Amino acid sequence: MDIIFITDLRVETIIGIYDWERTTQQTVSLDIEMATDIQAAASTEDIENTLNYKAISKRVESFIAESQFLLIETMAEQVATLIREEFGVSWLRLTVHKPGALSNSTDVGVRIERGSR
């Protein structure tokens, strides 16, 4: 199994449970690891034979920017489902960071794994 990854994909969105969070966009950051087999892409040098990380990042960015979530857990589940269903990813590990959510911490977040390797 090979892994294609995207690190620190930043998106502005409405996220949070407090009143002020419902009116102010905040930055979330995502780290995405996706299982795939890169052998066909490596031998043909054809983007159609691999996961197109640009297409995935653009789709995830637009989905999050157009959505509003109360919890990062909900965001993580919906993004994972989107990637698996729209891009045929059998396994992924997704970390959603919400920097600045706590005044005494630089970062908080959630990490999930879905599917089988």
Per residue in 38-67, pLDDT tens? 999 999 999 999 999 999 999 999 999 999
Q: What order of strands is seen across the sheet that includes strand 68-69? A: 68-69, 2-15, 26-36, 91-97, 109-115
* Rounded CA separation 65/16 (Å): 14
What is the tally of structural domains in the chain? 1
Catalytic residue list contains 58: no
CATH code of residue 67: 3.30.1130.10
Tokens linked to 110:
């959630």
For the whole model, what pTM was predicted?
0.95
* Rounded CA separation 67/46 (Å): 33
Catalytic residue from among 98, 99, 108, 110:
98
Residue 53 has what pLDDT?
A: 97
Instruction: Work out the average pLDDT over 85-100.
Output: 96
